[in-house]
Structure 1
Amino acid sequence: MVNTMRAATVTPGRPDDLRVSEWPDPVALDGELLVEGLLVGLCHTDLEIINGRIDSLPPGQDRMVLFHESLGRVLSAPSGSGFAPGDLVAGVVRRPDPLPCGPCAAGRSDFCLNGDYTERGVSALDGYGSERWAVPAEYAVKLAPEVGDCGVLAEPTSVVAKAWDQVDIVGGRTFHAPQRVLVTGAGPIGLLAAMLGVQRGLDVHVLDRVEKGVKPELVRALGAAYHLGLDTVPVVDVVIECTGVGPLVFDSVLKLGRNAVAVLVGLSTSDAEIPLAPSRLNDTLVFGNAAVVGSVNSAPAHFRTAAEALAKADQEWLRRLITRRVPLSAWPQALERGDDIKVVVELDK
C-alpha cells in the first residue's frame, strides 16, 4: 500500500480545478534529504502556471504539485551531506538539462543554452507544495535557525542575489564603484533587492505607486528613500528593475549615470505596444558607457548568498514581508487579491 500525504495540485490552464490532493509520499533516494514541508510562498509565476501561460506538466501526469518558493525542516539526511535532522532548508528550483549544455555542465543551469532544464513546481517537475518532499543534497541550502519562517524568502532573495552578482560582473568591465541604486517596484523582489543594496552600504531609492501603507513603511525602515515618480529620483549607478512594466523599464534606464548598470528581473505580462524615444535611450547608453542586462532564475551559489543575507537582515523587518498566511487545506485562498506583500501557505495546517 502506498503511503500518501496532502499536496496543493493544479492542472495548468484550469484555474477552476485547484485541489488539495492525496499524493504519494516521497522516497528519498541515495544522496537525497527527506524534508518536512513547512511553508511555500506564492509568486506571480504560480499564477501564470494556474492560468496556463506556463504549461509543462511532469511526464505522464495530468496534475502537478505547485509552488517553487520553499521552506522545510530536514527529517533525514545522508551521512556526510552537511545536513542533519532539524535543519531548516530551502530547495533550489532549477535542474540542468540532460545533455547537458556548457553552462549546465558547469553548474550554471540558470544560463542554460538549449532550454531543456526542468524546474521544481514550474517546468516538468513537481513543486514543494506538499507535506513532505525529497531533494538532492546539492540542491538544498541550509538556513540559519534564527531566520525561522522567513526562510521561505530564500528563493526570491536568490533571484536578486543573482541580479547583484550581474551588477558586479558587468560593472567589473570598468572602474565601477556604485554609490546610488534605484529599485523599481516595492513587491517582495523589489524590497529584497533594496535590502541587499542597503547591506552593501549603498544609497538606495525605491520607486512604487502605492502612496501609503506597509510598502513605503518597509522601505523607510531600511533607511532607503521612497519615490512615487521618477522625477524625484536622482541619477543612479545601478538600476534593479523588478516590475516588468514596459514604460517603466525604459524610463528607469534613462536614470543611469556614467558606467552604470541596469539589471532587468521583472517579467512583463502584457503585449501592449508603448511609445518609445529610441534616440534618447540610445544616447543614454552610448554616451554613458551604460549597460543593460537581463537576469532570470538563480544558481545554488545565489541561494547560499541569499541564506547569508537573510541571516544578516533585521529579522523583525523580514517578518513584516509575510503579510498573510493560508492553511494548505484552503490554499486557493492564497490567490485572493489584496494589499499583500508575501502570501505563504502553511503546509502543516
Structure 2
Amino acid sequence: MRAAEVVPGRPEASRVVDRPDPDRPGELLVEGLLVGMCGTDVEIIRDGFGVLPPGRDAIVPFHESLGRVISSPTPEFAPGDLVAGVVRRPDPEPCAACAVDAWDFCRNGKYTERGIKELDGYGMQRWTVPPKFAVKLDPTLGDAGVLTEPASVVAKAWARASAAAERSHLPVRSVLITGAGPIGLLAALLGVQRGLEVHVVDRVTDGRKPDLVTTLGATYYSDLAKVTADVDVAVECTGVAPLIWECARRASVTVLAGIAGEHDPVPLDPSVFDGIVMGNRTVVGTVNAGLPDYRAAAEALSEASRPWLHGLITRRLPLDRFTDALAKEEDDVKVVVDLT
C-alpha cells in the first residue's frame, strides 16, 4: 500500500512511500478513502508541531478520516461499512479521565493521537483500528463522512455549551459563531438542527461561505458590529483575541474552539471581565472529542442535507500531491486528499 509520510517542521521531506499492509489481529482492517487537511496538519508539517512515534524519524499524517471496512473481528462492523477513526487514545496509566474513556479530558498529557502525537495517522491506503475507536457512518454520506472528526469537535462544543446553559437556567434561543471555516460552519449546522437563531461572522464578503450559511437558514455577516441581535451562546472558532472578548461580552456562555497561536498581547477591556463576573457568564475551552461526541457528530451528519455537506468539500487532491493542500486557496473550506 501507499502512505503519506512527513517530518514535522520539514515540509520538503514530505513524501509518499510504499509500506506493507497493516496486520493487527483484533482490529478492523479498513480501506482508506479520504482524509481531511486541517490547521493542525499544517502546523505539524510546516511548523514542527506534534510528536513522532518512538524510534521513528517520520509520521504518517492526517487525523480526519473516512474508510470502508475490509474485514472485522466483531459483528458490530461488516465489510463495506463506512467508518471514521477516533483520533485520541487514552494514556496508559490511566488518569481519572482516561479511566472512564473521557480521554479528551486527559489530565496528565500522556495520551496519544493518530497523526499528531506518537501514532501514525490515517493518511494511508489501508489502516487498522480497534472496534472501540471506530465510528460507523450512514452509508449515504459518501465523501461527506470525512467531516466526522471536525463535526465531533463541534458536537463536544455544543455539549459543553448546553451543560453550562442548563446549570445557569439559561434558555438557549440564539448563537453567535465567529469564523466560517469547517468548524464554524458545522457549528452553525448543529445550531440550526437545534432550532436556534444562528448568526455567523467571517471576514469574506461573498463566495461559498456566505452561501453555505444562508442555505442553512442562518444569517451571515462580514462585520461583527452588524450583529445587533441578542445571543445566548457564542462559539468562537478563530482564536482572534478581540473576537474572543466580544463573544464573552455578548453571550452568557462562550465556547472557545479556536487557537490564538503567537500574537501580540491584546488588552482586556475591564468591562468584559466585570460582565463575566457580574453576569455569571461561562467561558470554556474545548479540544478533541470523546466517543459520545463522535456518535453525536455521526447522527448530525446523517440528518444533514447531502448537497450542503458536500459543498463544504471545496478541493480534492490525489495522494501524490497531498502537500498541495498546505497552500490555502481562495474560497477553500475543507480540502481532502483522495487515498484511492
TM-based fold match above 0.5: yes
Give, in whole Å, the separation in 2 of the partners of 1:55 and 1:230.
34
**TM-fit CA distance, 1:116:** 0.3
Could you give the per-residue CA deviations for residues 109-137 of structure 1, whole angstroms, max 9, x where no partner exists?
Answer: 00000000000000000000000000000
One-letter amino acid of the structure 1 residue matched with residue 31 of structure 2: E
Match of 1:296 among 268, 275, 287: 287
Greater CA deviation, 196-205 or 242-251?
Answer: 242-251
Spell out, residue by residue over 1:34-54, the C-alpha distance to the aligned partner (whole angstroms, 9 max, x if none).
000000000000011112341
| Distance apart, 1:11 and its partner CA | 0.6
Q: 2:192 and 2:108 mapped to 1: Cα distance?
A: 36
Matched, 1:261 2:253: yes
2:49 aligned partner: 54
Cα RMSD after superposing both structures? 1.0
The one of 7, 13, 20 equivalent to 1:17 is 13
Shift of 1:172: 1.8
Q: Does 1:334 align with 2:325?
A: yes
TM-superposed deviation, 1:73: 0.1
Q: Within the alignment, does 1:73 sit opposite 2:68 as a pair?
A: yes
* 1:283 equivalenced with 2:310 (yes/no): no
Q: CA deviation at 1:29?
A: 2.0
2:17 is aligned with 1:26: no
Could you tell me how far apart the structure 2 residues matched to 1:220 and 1:269 are?
Answer: 30
AA aligned opposite 2:338: E
Q: Deviations over 1:61-118 (max 9, x none)?
A: 10110000000000000133x1000000000000000000000000000000000000
Of the three residues 29, 39, 44, the one matched with 1:44 is 39
Tell me the number of residue pairs that the alignment of Structure 1 and Structure 2 aligns. 338
Measure the CA separation in 1 of the matches of 2:12 and 2:243: 33
Instruction: Give the conservation status (yes or no) of the 8 Å contact 1:180–1:204.
Output: yes
Corresponding residue of 1:218: 212
Paired residue type of 2:300: A
**Structure 2 CA distance, aligned partners of 1:53 and 1:264?**
24
Q: Give 1:228 shift.
A: 1.6
Gaps of 5+ in 1: none
2:163 paired with 1:169: yes
Among candidates 186, 204, 212, match of residue 192 of structure 1: 186
Q: What letter matches 1:97 in structure 2?
A: D
Give the Cα separation in 2 of the matches to 1:19 and 1:53: 16
Q: Which amino acid aligns with 1:328?
A: L
1:230 and 1:252 in contact (8 A); partners too: no
The 8 Å contact of residues 10 and 48 in structure 2, kept in 1 or not, is answered as: no
The 8 Å contact of residues 13 and 55 in structure 1, kept in 2 or not, is answered as no
User: Partner of 1:98 in structure 2?
Assistant: 92
- Judge conservation of contact 2:4–2:61 (CA < 8 Å) in 1: yes
Corresponding position: 1:157 with 2:151:
yes
Q: Tell me if structure 2 keeps the 8 A contact 1:147–1:311.
A: yes
The equivalent of 1:35 in structure 2 is 30
Q: Which letter maps to 1:6?
A: R
Taking structure 2 as the reference length, the TM-score comes to 0.97
Contact 1:6 1:130 (8 Å CA) reproduced: yes
Say if 2:74 and 2:131, in contact at 8 Å, map to a contact too: no
* Pair 1:128 & 2:119 matched: no
Task: Tell me the equivalent position of 2:247.
Answer: 252
Q: List 4+ stretches of structure 1 deviating above 2 A.
A: none
1:206 match: 200
CA contact (8 A) 1:41 1:70 kept: yes
List gaps (5 residues or longer) in structure 2: none
Q: Per the alignment, in what secondary structure is the counterpart of residue 64 of structure 1?
A: coil
Per-residue deviation, residues 275-313 of structure 1 (Å, max 9, x unmatched):
321x21122212221110011100011111000000000
